[in-house]
Amino acid sequence: MIKAVRGTRDLLPPETALWNFVESAVRDVFRAYNFQEIRTPIFEETQLFSRGVGADTDIVTKEMYTFYDDRVAVDGPLLSAIGPSRELRASKWITLRPENTAGVVRAYIEHNLESRGLNKLYYIGPQFRRERPQKGRYRQFYQIGAEVIGPASAGSERPLRDAEVLEMLDTLLRRLGISDFILYINSIGDSKDRAAYNEALRRALEPVVENMCTDCQRRAVTNPLRVFDCKVPQDQPIIQTLPLISDYLGAESKEHFENVQALLKKAEVSFEVNPRLVRGLDYYTRTAFEFTHGALGAQNAILGGGRYDGLAELLGSREPAPGIGFAIGEDRLVMALEGRASETMQRADAYIAPVGEGMNRNALVLARDLRREGLVIELGDRSLRLKKMFEAATKAGAKYIVIVGENEVKADAFAVKDLATGEQVSVPRAELPGKIREWKIG
Ligand code: AMP
């Protein structure tokens, strides 16, 4: 038997109803803040991520699904199927997107979205990372994210944007009925602060790094900040002794961070400062944040994000375009809402049971009319025995079964049976949609 690939999974009803519930709440909330949806490709050129996310990050060094898209490399049978006359295309390294911010910023630059006033964008979609699968951690997972990008003249680098984005997330989680969360924030400084801090880290690591894992030994040389991504338990006591970024923030970064905190307090968004929060992606500057959720266990980070003031230039923008954004782990968000799946799944309002020769035709038309009235209808088939149709109606979650037989069609009134009580009444065709809706509301 062929099964889903390790780290991927099928999302099935009734859980898909919960995913839809989450996504529609998200769209409602984002709309109130005037974000517009963007959909970028699932795969991009590899260098978008190695440049954007950072060559020394775990994502780029270990977790990306990358392939060489080169017709020349296609071997034997496939090559002959394509045919030798086919033009050979340029070779390219391609990667399944491990995150969506780099793609959004690429699209922002490529289509000059600024000129169209499109600088607040959100996305919902799958991302891919070759991580060790466990509960809450998958190789195909889903992120819901939003980005505010724009020229400095539009105020996109101001602390108000940070506070607004964090306030939106606080509002969104509460709207979904989640309250058991903590927002951690930190400032990881601008590029000048980071250079000084990286130097300090390098010095602090020198005498101790030989006792650390091989990844950390590499990071200590190439990009010491990434040492904080280490999950090896033996390395943690050493990491605890390393200098903190807060001691290396310049006046501007400090002021920015203080302003963000003051604004959050005004907006009644609770937070905790976590001086060791650095996030696993290189593009962040200044504000970095993470929300954790109590009920999620080991994988308790429900979303993360931050500011990325230099990313656009890194990806080829001539104009600076500071930005701030986040990505919510949708799988984990849905996990936090587990138990509400059946409540959010809409079942059939009624089941139409055609009984007797020629009745399928009448039933099809009646089903069409009721569906056009906004009702959810499951349609049987006259080849089934009535008992079978009753069972099917129950399985479909229908509350009523509408019998379509010769007498009903002649009278233009249908027998409607309440599947819970067994009560049966005759309802004229014209009154049927209204009656079903009325009963449904109870
Ligand atoms: P990141 O893009 O690493 O900042 O992650 C943002 C959020 O995406 C995290 O807080 C998680 O909720 C979620 N996430 C990241 N990686 C995975 C994964 N492998 N499986 C499920 N969710 C993930």
Residue 442 has pLDDT above 70, yes or no: yes
Please work out, in degrees rounded to the nearest 5, the angle formed at the alpha carbon of residue 332 by the alpha carbons of 330 and 338: 105
Residue 78 has pLDDT above 70, yes or no: no
**Nearest CA among 257, 261, 262, 329 for reference residue 300:** 329
Cβ atoms within 10 A of the Cβ of 225, count? Answer: 21
**Nearest CA among 276, 280, 277 for reference residue 219:** 280
Instruction: Note the pLDDT of residue 71.
Output: 58
- The whole-number average pLDDT for the span 204-225 is 93
The C-alpha atoms of residue 418 and residue 412 are separated, in whole angstroms, by 19
Tokens at residue 299, please? 């994988």
At residue 73 the predicted structure's pLDDT band, cuts being 50, 70 and 90, is very low
At residue 241 the predicted structure's pLDDT band, cuts being 50, 70 and 90, is very high
Query: Which atom of ligand 1 sits closest to the CA of residue 98?
Result: 2
Instruction: Note the pLDDT of residue 392.
Output: 96
At residue 343 the predicted structure's pLDDT band, cuts being 50, 70 and 90, is confident
Residue 120 has pLDDT above 70, yes or no: yes
Instruction: Note the pLDDT of residue 418.
Output: 95
Rg (CA), the chain: 28
The C-alpha atoms of residue 245 and residue 193 are separated, in whole angstroms, by 8
Instruction: Note the pLDDT of residue 98.
Output: 98
The answer to whether the CB of 335 falls within 8 A of the CB of 320 is: no
At residue 81 the predicted structure's pLDDT band, cuts being 50, 70 and 90, is low
Give the chain's domains with CATH numbers: 15-340 (3.30.930.10), 347-441 (3.40.50.800)
Instruction: Note the pLDDT of residue 77.
Output: 52
User: What is the whole-number distance in angstroms between the Cα of residue 300 and the centre of ligand 1?
Assistant: 10
Question: For a pocket test of ligand 1, which of 129, 132, 141 has the largest count of ligand atoms closer than 8 A to its C-beta?
Answer: 141
User: What is the whole-number distance in angstroms between the Cα of residue 138 and the centre of ligand 1?
Assistant: 9
At residue 333 the predicted structure's pLDDT band, cuts being 50, 70 and 90, is very high
